[in-house]
Amino acid sequence: MSRPNTPGQALQALKLPEIWPDRSQSWASRRQELVALLSQHVYGRMPLEHGPLEVKILAEDARAFAGKAVQQTVELAVELPGGRFAFPIQSIVPYSGRPAAGFPFFVHIAFRPDVPDKYLPAEEIVDSGYALLNFCYQDIAPDHDDLFVSGLPALYPAWLEQPDRWGKIAMWAWAASRVLDFAGLEAARGAQFDVNRAAVVGHSRLGKTALWAGANDPRFSLVISNDSGCAGAALERYKTGEDVAAITNRFGYWFGPDYVRYANQPEAMPFDQHFLLAACAPRAVYVASAAEDAWADPDAEFLSAWAAGSVYPALGYAGLVTENRWPDADCSLHQGRVAYHRRPGCHYLSRTDWQRFMTYANQLAGRS
Ligand code: GTR
């Protein structure tokens, strides 16, 4: 497909399904429908029932990062229909500059448990006045097709019999909400976290996961996807690189059973990925692209962000604030409740990405 001269022309030609066609319907009710639609057709449905969260500190470094923060390894556990599920997280909380309401924080859905990590400049995040809650997705459900016999899904056995049973993206997203439960418990004890400034962030397959976590859990006030591509931020109807056929062929277990039906026929989808971004509205949603990431398709991610922004004005906010031209290889569009950046280089969660996320999060706080 050759690229139309302007993104506006591209969107017009696509004739995307409308996010909120009946404006007499309340947004709260339409938003629920979007989540239900995406559950049914893409990610599978998340179970809701679980026991109360149990918290156990496994290890503590009170002088982490040159003495600037306390770092704890914490075990979170809940009772589920099939037994007890426990997983470790890392909690990093700065000592200085604590706002009265507690620190704003990132729930980082991580490829590895390590803090710091090549995708996680933890000291810089601490220095910027943010706390961090980090967990490794493989500790929730392993990232391979094991027929859901291990980790979290095995403890919801009946759920796996459902025709719209969840896939692994939904399982990893479920865990992000349990981590947020932990922040809530800590905040209730007067501890460090400002639960009104909770962001969820992930890269690539975990960027898809961050979006699904944010769509499901309105307690996340900022939802950030980095290079999330197919089944993440990118419009399926527009994109090149990875498509539904390619992703379900390699990673069918990430999704509910229905998604594969749309392989090679995106026009049959009663939705597109702008529904996923809009399901976060009126909260802030941030789409980050890498200029050379053709597999994810930066233009398709940008168009989706722009299309999703269309619901915000009726909710009292600007969506994506942009001119009608394709983004430069290095740009940040931070003025609306839908934010976008494109940075030079390839598929990676870089320091540059984090710096821009924090710039935007600071700006949001200044506004509210
Ligand atoms: C690729 C996959 C992408 C993206 C990526 C990643 O192999 O096709 O959808 O999720 O992995 O997570 O790094």
Told to judge if 144 belongs to the known catalytic residues of this protein, a careful annotator would answer: no
Q: Is residue 367 over pLDDT 60?
A: no
pLDDT of residue 1: 58
pLDDT of residue 105: 98
Per-position DSSP letters for 79-126, written without gaps between them? EETTEEEEEEEEEEEESSS--TT-EEEEEEEESSS-SSBTTB-HHHHH
Burial of 262 (0-12, 13-18, 19+ CB in 10 A): buried
Q: How far is the CA of 65 from the centre of ligand 1 (A)?
A: 31
92 lines ligand 1 (CB under 6 A): no
Strand partners, 182: none
pLDDT of residue 2: 81
CB 298 within 8 A of CB 239: no
Q: Is residue 298 over pLDDT 70?
A: yes
Q: Which tens digits make up the pLDDT trace of 143-192?
A: 999 999 999 999 999 999 999 999 999 999 999 999 999 999 998 888 79
User: What is the model's pTM?
Assistant: 0.98
pLDDT-above-70 percentage for the chain: 99
Mean pLDDT on 112-117: 97
**pLDDT band at 368, cuts 50/70/90?**
very low
pLDDT-above-90 percentage for the chain: 96
204 lines ligand 1 (CB under 6 A): yes
Report the chain's mean pLDDT, rounded to a whole number.
Answer: 97
CB 19 within 8 A of CB 273: no
> Ligand 1, closest atom to CA 204?
12
Mean pLDDT on 192-220: 98
- Tokens 């629920």 locate to 32
Mean pLDDT on 266-286: 98
205 lines ligand 1 (CB under 6 A): yes
Q: Which tens digits make up the pLDDT trace of 77-107?
A: 999 999 999 999 999 999 998 999 999 999 9
Q: Give the pair of three-digit tokens for residue 73.
A: 């390894």
Set out the domains of the chain in order of their start, with CATH numbers.
7-367 (3.40.50.1820)
Mean pLDDT on 132-142: 98
Catalytic residue among 204, 225, 304, 350: 204
Q: d(Cα 340, Cα 172) in Å, to the nearest integer? A: 24
202 lines ligand 1 (CB under 6 A): no
